[in-house]
Homo-oligomer: A and B are copies of this chain.
Amino acid sequence: MSFDVLQDKIRGMKNPTVAGLDARIEYVPEHIRRAAFEEYGAGRKGAAEAVWQFNRELIDALCDIVPAVKPQSAYYENLGWQGMEVLERTIRYAKEKGLFVIADIKRGDIGSTAAAYAEGWLSGTSIEGETFPAFDADCVTLNGYMGSDSIKPFLEAAKEGDKCVFVLVKTSNPGSGELQDIVAGDRLVYQAMGDLNERIARGTEGKYGYTMAGAVTGATYPSDIRALRRRLEHTFFLVPGYGAQGGKAEDVQYAFDKYGHGAIVNSSRGIMCAWQKTGGDGHGFAQAARSAALAMRDDIRQFVTVV
């Protein structure tokens, strides 16, 4: 089962972290932007090609030290179809380099529509009897507000390729509590979401004991993570919010089980934009990202030992 693939990669590197690939054009160093704008024009195509160069060099710099990358779809949709083409290219290249790719898309819709999304992002679309992969990630993030029929088509699609999903449970943003922390009987709404999600995926546990439907649990709410780890013992956690959003290594440690398994921590701007803090002109961005990724790994290793 599918979190086995990710957990094996994490064990291989003793590094339970994932690097976001969420490039706004402003994050791309000037020399890359200039070159792309000169070749493709200072519009969507030029911006998309600049992001591609940036991503490619980041992937090259990170692929032997981090097990996974997480491109956020918003930063590609932002550039229209040219951005989506670069997202496809980025996912393909990251996989070629051995990285596990989590497409951060937070989709969720009625069953027939969820099936279409699942084809596009995981299993491929059938055209005249032949299957054509589209974005073809290893894993996607989902929003389960619409219920189990919005999640199940993704699980079906994921099974075909030993893939997996993460469903939003307790998110890292300031307003996450407005709906998620509402008291509903003897539990909170996000706990109900977590319970529902673990139930939907029951029976899909792999060799590490985790189902194929993981949960997003923000680093910015450490006490909630601790309670969720106890509550959802078969659910793998994706923990955003480390670094730029304020989450610390001592906070995220509670997402892991006693073997240091069952979770992966994300950092996006902290790695991608590390070059902006070096005082350099951006030519050393890949090395800065690598150093930041190693620093994050070592920071988390102070609190978490992956067995």
Within 8 A of B (CB), among A167-207: 168, 171-180, 182-185, 189, 192-193, 196
Residue among B79, B149, B185 making CB contact with A173, cutoff 8 Å: B149
Query: A178 is contacted by which of B132, B134, B183, B196 (Cβ under 8 Å)?
Result: B196
- Contact among B113, B147, B184 for A183, CB-based, below 8 A: B184
Contact A128 B42 (CB under 8 A): yes
Establish whether residues A180 and B143, one from each chain, have CB atoms under 8 Å apart when the complex forms: no
Among A59-67, A82-90, A285-293, the one that faces the other chain is A82-90
Interface residues of A in 192-251 (CB under 8 A from B): 192-193, 196, 245
Residues in B whose Cβ lies below 8 Å from that of A4: none
- Does B146 contact A78, Cβ atoms closer than 8 Å? no
CB-based nearest B residue for A169: B145
Contact at A120–B77, with CB atoms within 8 Å?
Answer: yes
CB distance from A157 to the nearest CB of B (A): 11
Q: 0/1 per residue, A104-131, Cβ < 8 Å to B?
A: 0011111101101101110001011010
Given contacts A134-B78, A178-B196, A183-B184, whether A113 and B72 have CB atoms under 8 Å apart is yes
Minimum Cβ distance to chain B for residue A111 (Å): 6
Q: Closest chain B residue to A42 by CB distance?
A: B128
- Kindly identify which residue among B81, B84, B135, B192 contacts A182, using a CB–CB cutoff of 8 Å: B192
Contact yes or no, A78 B184, CB < 8 A: no
Whether the Cβ atoms of A81 and B74 lie closer than 8 Å is no
The answer to whether A179 touches B74, judged by C-beta atoms less than 8 angstroms apart, is no
Q: Is the CB of B173 within 8 A of A179?
A: no
Total identical chains: 2
Per the CB 8 Å criterion, the residue count for chain A at the interface is 71
Q: Could you say which of B78, B179, B192 contacts A119, with CB atoms under 8 Å apart? A: B78
- The listed residue with most B CB atoms (<10 A of its CB), out of A84, A176, A193, is A84
In the assembled complex, the Cα of A113 lies from the Cα of B106 at a distance in Å of 11
A130–B43 alpha-carbon span in the complex (Å) = 8
Interface pair B80/A134, CB less than 8 Å apart: yes
In the complex, the chain B residue whose C-beta lies closest to that of A37 is B128
Determine if A145 and B147 form an interchain contact, defined as CB atoms under 8 angstroms apart: no
CA distance A175 to B259 in the complex (A): 36
A18 to chain B, nearest CB (A): 16
Cβ-closest chain B residue relative to A127: B47
Question: 5 shortest A-B CB distances, which residue pairs?
Answer: A147-B175, A80-B134, A147-B178, A81-B85, A149-B175
- Chain A residues with CB under 8 Å of chain B are 22, 24-25, 37, 42-44, 46-47, 72, 74-75, 77-85, 87-88, 106-111, 113-114, 116-117, 119-121, 125, 127-128, 130, 132, 134-135, 143-150, 168, 171-180, 182-185, 189, 192-193, 196, 245
For the complex with contacts A80-B132, A145-B145, 12 further pairs of A-B residues with Cβ separation under 8 Å are A43-B132, A78-B125, A79-B132, A80-B84, A80-B88, A145-B179, A146-B175, A149-B173, A149-B174, A150-B175, A183-B184, A184-B184
